[in-house]
Amino acid sequence: MAVSNENKVIIFSAPSGAGKSTIVKHLLGKYPFLEFSISATSRLPRGEEKDGVDYYFFTKEEFKQKIEKGEFVEYEEVYAGSYYGTLKSEVERIWAKGHIILFDIDVKGGINIKRLYGSHALAVFIRPPSVETLKERLVLRGTDSPQAIERRVAKAEEELEYAGMFDRIIVNDSLECALREAEIIVERFYNE
């Protein structure tokens, strides 16, 4: 049975360094029916990040109050001391426009959203060809210290074990192929 586009969601999850952000940006630029879900976070803004654009930035206290008030669809302490979550108000805001929500969230959050929305949700896991490639990419990106890279790689190894819980897996070996594959997956879900 066809599901109305008014309440569909697409989830992209991946270990960091798998190329998820590039794929998500590409899809948002190409399909006007997709809208990015702006997450809430308790971490500080980085670089040019703006409140209400990249994230809704809150203090840890504000974030915890929102948890208590039941304002989140899902939330996770993705890194020790840093909370990330999706506000119910954000989901309502995007669905009210008739858009499909595009989530860029961590692996556990992705699984939770999939569980919540069932057949209205398409969960896509982006994986690097190997853990070695992932490490190389993080080193080349140059934004993390060697210790932070080790932490991210360890987390990635753990996250890769959840890949089987997603509807689709895209192996990001060649970016061009990964983008094309992502487009096909999105178009098919849109037309379902």
* 71 makes contact with ligand 5GP (CB under 6 A): no
Cα 171 off chain centre by:
16
Q: Which of 27, 35, 36, 85 binds ligand 5GP (CB under 6 A)?
A: 85
Which one-letter DSSP state was computed for residue 157? H
Q: Where are the alpha helices (DSSP H) in 6-145?
A: 20-30, 60-68, 88-96, 107-117, 131-141
Q: Residue 28 CB, nearest distance to ligand 5GP (Å)?
A: 15
CB contact set of 117 (below 8 Å; sequence gap of 6+) = 7, 9
Please identify, among the stretches 26-34, 63-71, 100-108, 132-140, the one whose residues bind ligand 5GP according to the rule CB under 6 A: 100-108
Which residue in the set 76, 144, 167, 173 belongs to the binding site for ligand 5GP (CB under 6 A)?
A: 76
Q: How far is the CB of 151 from ligand 5GP (least distance, A)?
A: 12
DSSP state at residue 51: B
- Number of DSSP helices (H) and strands (E) in the chain, helices first: 7, 9
H-run or E-run covering 147: helix 146-160
Stretch that binds ligand 5GP, among 61-69, 74-82, 134-142, 167-175 (CB under 6 A): 74-82
Per-residue binding string, ligand 5GP, 28-67, x by CB under 6 A, is -----------x---x------------------------
Buried b vs exposed e over 3-18: b needs ≥16 C-beta within 10 Å? eebeebbbbbbbbbbb
20 labelled as ligand-binding?
Answer: yes
Is 15 flagged in the annotation as binding?
A: yes
Per-residue x/- track, 120-159, ligand 5GP (CB under 6 A): ----------------------------------------
User: Which residues touch 18 (CB under 8 Å, ≥6 apart)?
Assistant: 126, 127, 128, 134, 156, 172
Using CB under 6 A as the criterion, which residues of the chain lie in contact with ligand 5GP when the complex forms?
16, 39, 43, 74, 76, 78, 84-86, 104-106, 109
Annotated binding site for ATP: 14-21
